[in-house]
Amino acid sequence: MLRILYSVPLIGWLLQDAIEGPVSSRLWFLANLGMLWFLAVYFFGVAAFIFPLLALAGIVLTSIVVLTLVR
């Protein structure tokens, strides 16, 4: 699966450097993701801000349910 992602020209290079590179490259990768999100909000408005948060809310709710069911 990672081999397919690595073959995408720009995203693959950044992802490969973040996974296999030093710690500073991971921080730069997170900074790039943050800037990408900021630019999406700038160009597309509040919808680009709310949709990722709604997805994260579903992930958090699912993880809470899974953690409380497993004993």
- Using H for helix, E for strand and C for coil, what is the string for 8-64? CHHHHHHHHHHHHCCHHHHHHHHHHHHHHHHHHHHHHCHHHHHHHHHHHHHHHHHHH
Extents of the domains making up the chain: 2-69
Residue 44: per-residue pLDDT: 95
- Positions in the chain short of pLDDT 50: none
Residue 45: per-residue pLDDT: 94
Residue 6: per-residue pLDDT: 84
Residue 8: per-residue pLDDT: 87
Between CA 57 and CA 63 the distance in angstroms is 10
Residue 37: per-residue pLDDT: 93
Contact 19, 27 (CB under 8 A): no
Residue 71: per-residue pLDDT: 67
